[in-house]
Structure 1
């Protein structure tokens, strides 16, 4: 699993980082994006609809967003 640290990054930086990483991944691979901005989760869900996205707020104000690459 790849990890992208986006703590402190505002949109669209996390989206651009995730998009770049997804290009080099195979179907079924997972990337974990760590963010401290709630808007990042919403943007991930709207920008990567064709992929499977799950998330968890691991501590107050910090999210781990998992993107599983599909087609």
Structure 2
């Protein structure tokens, strides 16, 4: 298993979602993609996209306006 980290802090939609999709395409089944960002709308959109793609949303954490979303491919 590989962990792929994507830092989109300071980026606004649709950049975080686009970068998430790119990372998920590169990931192999079982790999974990961790997205770190600050844009509030992306925090809602990324989990919806994960669900639509049929992937596993492992965790959403938020601290001081920065969120981290973990997805298993």
TM-score, reference length from structure 2:
0.85
Q: Which residue of 1 aligns with 2:32?
A: 30
Q: Which residue of 1 aligns with 2:55?
A: 51
- 3-state SS of the aligned residue for 1:4? strand
- 3-state SS of the aligned residue for 1:11? coil
Q: Which residue of 2 aligns with 1:5?
A: 7
1:68 shift after superposition: 0.8
Q: Which runs of no fewer than 5 residues in structure 1 stay unpaired?
A: none
Give the aligned length: 68
Q: Which runs of no fewer than 5 residues in structure 2 stay unpaired?
A: none
Over the aligned positions, Cα root-mean-square deviation in angstroms equals 1.0
User: 17, 20, 30: which one pairs with 1:18?
Assistant: 20
Counterpart CA distance in 2 for 1:34 and 1:4 is: 6
